[in-house]
Amino acid sequence: MKKALITGINGQDGAYLANLLLKKNYKIYGLIRRGSTNRLYRLEYLNIKDRINFIYGELNEFQNLQNEILRIKPDLIFNLAAQSFVKYSFDNPTYTYEINCVSVLNILECLRRNKLFKIKFYTAGTSEMFGNISGKKKLKIDEKTPMQPCSPYGNSKVAAHNLTSIYRESYGLFACSGILFNHESPLRGEEFVTKKIVKNLVEQKYSKKTILYLGNLDSKRDWGHAEDYVEAMYLMLKSKKPFNYVISTGKTYSVREFFTKVAVKLGFEPIFKKKGKLEVCIDKKTNRIIMKTSKKYFRENELSYLKGNSIMAKKKIGWKPKFNIDTLIDDMISYELKNQNVQK
């Protein structure tokens, strides 16, 4: 039986990836850090918690990580654990850098020092590494686009990405840094904008009448579904040659467009009034304010436009997304409706 080790297994991607690999008959080991509350709800939701072999540890604890890798001898390692919230990285840059970069270096060093050249390694790169490079000209980003991160998070991921390429080229490790654009799902963390919008608007529709507070409504993202994106991670490690592929849908929508789509699907009639940090959205049917902007959610530096080009991944590893923006939103709404016990 093939074995896979996943760090960050209780995060959004970790849970979907574990589910995918179990279906492919892998034995799964998952690294999680100790906590005082239940953070395994995603694995419980997918009904796979009891099929995971958990390893408790911190990502930056080199000795422990090395012992576990030597004990398990996995065929594949997926490093998904990270401080993944961009806004938080402006307030906690040192922590973000250590977790997101030093941890990758630790795994690469462990593979190199112990001559574990058969283990295939994936680490989670991101579109945030490009910063605003394509913003003005509205270009599609591909594997050759230069990286100019505009957040401490993006910078930490560039460092990890470059180290991965350096170890691949210098020591012949099978190591890839997947350049994944935003991907969402019902299991997305609640601080991210898509989940925040869907959860709040479903609540406003069916239970609590609490206004939704958002930041910049005009930034644009290339949003895909996490289930499609974990498939890409797997395909990257199954391919013959390691390569850092861009994974994206090739379509981009503003936060305002995403919000409007969700609101309309739920039967609201959204009308936007005022501008910038004073903007509000009113439901024309009820004349009630359903959204207000708040200074709190604007960023120190905004990445305002993202659109990817995944032709290379399509050609070389046969990856193609199954979801589009509407089926993604439908999936997210239907999960929230079930949570609210609403019959559709």
Give the binding site for ligand F7E (CB under 6 A): 84, 86, 126-128, 181-182, 191-193, 196, 214-216, 219, 221, 255, 297, 299, 302
Q: Which residues are catalytic, by number?
A: 126, 128, 153
Please report how close the Cβ of residue 71 comes to ligand F7E at its closest, in angstroms.
30
User: Is 189 one of the binding residues for ligand NAP (CB under 6 A)?
Assistant: yes
Distances (CA, A) of 74 to 4, 70, 71, 100: 5, 8, 9, 21
Q: Which amino acid is at 183?
A: H
- Residues in contact with ligand NAP, shown as a per-residue x/- string from 137 to 176 under the rule CB under 6 A: ----------------------------------------
Please report how close the Cβ of residue 34 comes to ligand F7E at its closest, in angstroms.
23
Q: Do residues 305 and 138 make contact, with C-beta atoms less than 8 angstroms apart?
A: yes
Chain centroid to CA 55: 22
Alpha carbon distance 184, 250 (integer Å): 15
Which of ligand NAP, ligand F7E, none does 185 bind, CB closer than 5 to 8 A by kind? none
- The label of the residue with tokens 């659109």 reads 307
Report helix, strand or coil for 337.
Answer: helix
Instruction: Give the containing element (helix H, strand E) for 205.
Output: helix 193-206
Please report how close the Cβ of residue 223 comes to ligand F7E at its closest, in angstroms.
9
Beta strands per DSSP E along the chain? 3-7, 27-32, 52-56, 76-79, 120-126, 174-180, 183-184, 212-214, 220-221, 224-225, 246-247, 253-254, 270-273, 280-283, 288-293
Within residues 15-34, the interface with ligand NAP by CB under 6 A covers 33
| Residue with the shortest CB distance to ligand NAP | 11
Stretch that binds ligand NAP, among 81-89, 165-173, 250-258, 326-334 (CB under 6 A): 81-89
User: Is 124 one of the binding residues for ligand NAP (CB under 6 A)?
Assistant: yes
Stretch that binds ligand NAP, among 82-90, 137-145, 212-220, 305-313 (CB under 6 A): 82-90
Pick 229 or 268: Cβ nearer ligand NAP: 229
- The label of the residue with tokens 């009034």 reads 273
Dihedral pair phi/psi, residue 261, rounded to 5°? -60, -45
Q: Do residues 43 and 187 make contact, with C-beta atoms less than 8 angstroms apart?
A: no
Stretch that binds ligand NAP, among 12-20, 231-239, 260-268, 295-303 (CB under 6 A): 12-20
The length of the chain is 344
Which of ligand NAP, ligand F7E, none does 227 bind, CB closer than 5 to 8 A by kind? none
Interface residue with ligand NAP among 4, 5, 6, 13 (CB under 6 A) is 13
Beta strands per DSSP E along 239-306? 246-247, 253-254, 270-273, 280-283, 288-293
Please report how close the Cβ of residue 230 comes to ligand NAP at its closest, in angstroms.
9
Please report how close the Cβ of residue 188 comes to ligand NAP at its closest, in angstroms.
7
* Site for ligand NAP, rule CB under 6 A: 8, 10-14, 33, 35, 39, 58-59, 80-84, 99, 124, 126, 180, 182-183, 189
